[in-house]
Structure 1
Amino acid sequence: MASIVIISVLLMVILSLFRVNVLLAIVISAMTAGLMSGLPFDELVSTFTSNMAGSANTALSYILLGGFAVAIALTGITKGFVQFLRRIIKGRRGVVLGVIVIIASLSQNAIPVHIAFIPILIPPLIALFDRIQLDRRAVATALTFGLKAPYIMVPLGFGLIFQGIIRDNMAENGLSIALNEVTLAMLVPGLGMVLGLIIALTITYRKKRDYSVIEPEGEPSKVEEEDDTPFIFERKHVMTIVAIVAALAVQLITEEMVLGALTGLMLMFLLVAVPYRQIEDVMSRGISMMGMIAFIMLSASGFAGILQESGSVDALVNASSGLLEGNQLFIAFILLLVGLIITMGIGTSFGTIPILAVLYVPIATAAGFSPMAIAVLIGTAGALGDAGSPASDSTLGPTAGLNVDGKHNHIWDTCVPTFLHFNIPIFIFGLIGAVIL
């Protein structure tokens, strides 16, 4: 039973590496897991589809955010922002990547819009990236760092939610810990991400890459050329800023991304920042931009449901607990390895924490780990796989922005680079943190 998780996740990864569509790879792996566990086919399909509802809120959020991003782009305000960035960047690749890291990091904490900024900001910059021959794998790494590292290390925005989930689930399983202790504990694996980012940007992807010789995959989209005509700030741009601020305010007050995105989208039309007659075009392009991400998230939730329904996740951890005899370093290694396998399959760090905490707290407590060390184990195991997973929004978002011309492959140009540069150092630093804290 425990082998079902390993086999199905490996199948998903192998299919993805062989360039099978990620959505199909997830569905095939989910069906394989269900059949191996002995679920009748009708129950298997029912379990898969019913559990897709677990990500319905997220999927709808992404669709609405896609429409909101298209509406913002239609006003032309992004032209002014991109021109401003170009003046700052001046063709220096290091500055480009530094700015992207900062903007992506702010999207998780200071202005918690998550991946919604990517389809607004990145496509207009593709022409600049190609002109300075910037390796898009470096951009993908910078984006994924900004989408992930802040919620691991900083208790604000999504970081407050993530660290709060760790604290609450530890408490539910009989182990109290303060939020500031969780924050201090998660700084250790977070430093691993910082090291991985430095290696990626200064060593691995430092060289120039000529995208003019790369053949696009599939039907390429229209890529915006650099527009140097002077940007004129108009009334519609004021209304756009009002809509953006309102969307952020509603999201922060209600803690619902759907309501925030819907507010911003509706205000774009009510304030006539975008003519109402363009609403069909806006939503059509928004669905085209973010629809695949939404369906992948839905399918990943269905996959997770089948794994849980079959009992294979519990079986994997319970089987691993039989090996957990010996020194703490070996125990921590096994626990993190199990977390990596589970999170790679499910594709969500936030959703994995409750699954892991139920089993990690009693096992690690019995092994003599401190509360902070257990927080490191749970948080690191949850975060592992968020980068590198084909089904994670931390990889799907960057690909959606960088692959507008069909020259950026989701698996080889986003998932593999982010797995190597983030999951490996996070694993190592998390292992060290669990032993020394």
Structure 2
Amino acid sequence: MNAVLIAVIVMLVLSLLRINVVFSLTIGAIVGGLTAGLSITETIDSFAGGLGDGAAIALSYGMLGGFAIAISKTGIPELLVMTILKLVKRNGDTQKIGLAKALVFFVLLLMAIFSQNLIPIHIAFIPLLIPPILKILNLMNVDRRLIACILAFGLITPYMSLPFGFGLIYQEIVATQITAAGEAISTSDVYGPMLIPAIGMVVGLIAAFIVFRKPRYYRDIETIDAIEVEVTIEKKNVVFTIIALIAAVIVQIPTGSMILGALAGVIILYITGALKWRQADELLTDGMRMMAFIGMVMIAASGFAAVVTDSGDVEKLVTTSTSIMGDNKGLAVLIMLLIGLIVDMGIGSSFATIPIIAVIFVPIAQEFGLSPAAIITLIGTAGALGDAGSPASDSTLGPTAGLNVDGQHNHIRDTCIPTFFIFNIPLIVFGWVAIMFFS
């Protein structure tokens, strides 16, 4: 059996059995490497060689986690919480609770979208906003699986479809890899075709509001026990925090470094006194600790991706699939989308999936006579598939990091499985329709 399929299946099964995701990725990579015919030494060397690719991302998330916790102690999240509490101060007021829910959903969706494009801080906003409002979500009996879907939508859809921030990076990768594979296109060509698959994500979000509309009950548990610092809302601190956020964005955009952006923000909080010196070390350490698990998963996922690539079985998977395709263009497109889903589910990164699949899919697409717009949609959609639902994706790890601070939100059952079905099914449908339309 194909080594890529074996590796992904082993990783997913172990994750579903509640084996730690880092261990699941490691075991899956070893099994996949051995299945591909690599020796245990070659497999370990390949895995270890790929770990460095995730180190920068892990450090970025650690720095952003520290920055996020520091910001959370300047009073900005409390302003949001206090505003929402005013709307729900009477438990029996159904209209106020409904308005508060709408406000929470809107703010979280807006922040998730902005985090990819307007203020490209990615998942760093999650530990900043989610923990302070968990008690409010509990008061309103909101199903946290819905919040996970809202966050996943905002983290994925903008980079798929909008040519700004991370979206521009994603579309540049799509354009570069398609061109390198033999179909010359420019980055500006990617924007239009990807709007149709994005509609599938919108459909999925609407479905999430329907599926998870019923109340779900959680216990009120104190969170972030290690950080017992009283928060006082001071106008000057709020202003300095906004300046720090702007500085982080200004530094991050030209340098392309989340590490430097977070560092700039923390320095400003230090200098202005918005972050107290006596509290700083504890707060930053706890913020990094909160994001450390995500960093470890991203490092392990990089090792997994290296083994998958070195196995050579991605190409074999496509070759085997082509024998099933025959001359059926529609079936060929569907199979390629599903292969993209499998690869992305394993490595947990749409950005890293594109180079793996483009070099193989583009020649096949050309052979079937797909137009440039159809090829763009194929590669862009196949790359994005699996980002929602992958245990190793930051689009699922981020929501879990925020929603599970009180231990009541399981990463696999409450984030990965719901987001997988809610978003990947409509994304496949709309992606397939768009590819066939453009072809």
Q: TM-score range by the shorter chain?
A: over 0.9
Instruction: Tell me what 2:385 maps to.
Output: 384
Instruction: Tell me what 1:11 maps to.
Output: 10
Please state if 1:169 is matched with 2:173.
Answer: no
Cα distance in 2 for partners of 1:400, 1:41 equals 33
State the superposition RMSD in angstroms.
2.2
Cα distance in 1 for partners of 2:55, 2:314 equals 23
Cα distance in 2 for partners of 1:254, 1:107 equals 17
Instruction: Tell me what 2:91 maps to.
Output: none
Instruction: Tell me what 1:109 maps to.
Output: 117
The answer to whether the 8 Å contact 1:151/1:162 transfers is yes
Moved more, 302-311 or 117-126: 302-311
Cα deviation 1:183-221 (Å, max 9, x = unaligned): 1111111110000100111x20011111139xx9xx975
Alignment of 1:368-383 (within 5 A): 368-383=369-384
Instruction: Tell me what 1:338 maps to.
Output: 339
Alignment of 1:32-431 (within 5 A): 32-86=31-85, 90-92=96-98, 93-201=101-209, 203-212=210-219, 221-222=224-225, 232-431=233-432
The answer to whether the 8 Å contact 1:5/1:313 transfers is yes
Cα distance in 2 for partners of 1:91, 1:123 equals 19
Cα distance in 2 for partners of 1:312, 1:380 equals 21
Instruction: Tell me what 2:93 maps to.
Output: none
User: Partner of 1:11: helix, strand, or coil?
Assistant: helix
Cα distance in 2 for partners of 1:261, 1:312 equals 39
Q: Which amino acid aligns with 1:405?
A: D
Q: What is the aligned-residue identity percentage?
A: 47
Quickly say closer, same or farther: Cα 1:115–1:370, change in 2 above 3 A: same
Cα distance in 2 for partners of 1:111, 1:83 equals 24
User: Partner of 2:324: helix, strand, or coil?
Assistant: coil
Cα distance in 2 for partners of 1:14, 1:413 equals 16
Cα distance in 1 for partners of 2:325, 2:357 equals 15
The answer to whether the 8 Å contact 1:165/1:350 transfers is yes
Cα distance in 1 for partners of 2:316, 2:51 equals 23
Q: Which amino acid aligns with 2:36?
A: S
CA positional deviation for 1:378? 0.5
Q: Which amino acid aligns with 1:113?
A: I
CA positional deviation for 1:266? 2.4
Cα distance in 1 for partners of 2:347, 2:318 equals 15
The answer to whether the 8 Å contact 1:127/1:223 transfers is no
CA positional deviation for 1:233? 2.8
The answer to whether the 8 Å contact 2:227/2:282 transfers is no
CA positional deviation for 1:265? 1.8
Cα distance in 2 for partners of 1:317, 1:259 equals 40
Quickly say closer, same or farther: Cα 1:183–1:45, change in 2 above 3 A: same
The answer to whether the 8 Å contact 1:350/1:382 transfers is yes
Quickly say closer, same or farther: Cα 1:62–1:161, change in 2 above 3 A: same
Cα distance in 2 for partners of 1:431, 1:84 equals 43
Cα deviation 1:54-107 (Å, max 9, x = unaligned): 111111100000110111122233212332355578432234223221221111
User: Partner of 1:323: helix, strand, or coil?
Assistant: helix
The answer to whether the 8 Å contact 1:147/1:394 transfers is yes
Cα distance in 2 for partners of 1:302, 1:283 equals 28
CA positional deviation for 1:317? 2.0
The answer to whether the 8 Å contact 2:183/2:362 transfers is yes
Cα distance in 2 for partners of 1:76, 1:99 equals 17
Moved more, 336-345 or 26-35: 26-35
User: What count of residue pairs does the alignment treat as equivalent?
Assistant: 428
CA positional deviation for 1:122? 0.6
Cα distance in 2 for partners of 1:189, 1:250 equals 32
Quickly say closer, same or farther: Cα 1:4–1:220, change in 2 above 3 A: farther
